[in-house]
Amino acid sequence: MDKKFYEKPTLAVAKELLGCYLVHGECVGKIVETEAYLWDDPASHSYRGKTRRNMAMFGAAGTAYVYFIYGNHFCFNVVTNKEEIGEAVLIRALEPVKGIELMKKRRGVEDVRQLCNGPGKLTQAMGITMKENGKSLIDGELKIIGGEKVREGDVVKTKRIGITKGAEMAHRFYIKNNRYISHK
Partner DNA sequence: CTCTGGATTGAC
Partner DNA sequence: TCAATCCAGAGG
Q: Between 109 and 128, how does the x/- string for binding to DNA read (CB under 7 A)?
A: x----x---xxxxx------
Q: Which of 39, 68, 143, 155 touches DNA (CB under 7 A)?
A: 68
SS3 27: strand
18 binds DNA (CB under 7 A): no
* AA identity, residue 66: V
52 binds DNA (CB under 7 A): yes
Q: Which of 10, 63, 77, 81 touches DNA (CB under 7 A)?
A: 77
DSSP string, 43-96: TSTTTT---TTTGGGGS-TTBEEEEEETTTEEEEEEEESSTTT-EEEEEEEEEE
Q: Between 144 and 183, how does the x/- string for binding to DNA read (CB under 7 A)?
A: ----------------xxxxxx----------------x-
| Measured distance CA(130)–CA(76) in Å, rounded | 9
Q: Which is nearer to DNA, 81 or 182 (CB)?
A: 182
H or E stretch covering 126 = helix 119-126
CB of 126 to DNA, least distance (A): 12
Q: Are 91 and 20 in contact (CB under 8 A)?
A: no
CB of 62 to DNA, least distance (A): 15
Q: Are 128 and 66 in contact (CB under 8 A)?
A: yes
Which residues contact DNA (rule: CB under 7 A)?
35, 37, 43-46, 48, 51-54, 57, 65, 68-73, 75, 77, 88, 90, 107, 109, 114, 118-122, 160-165, 182
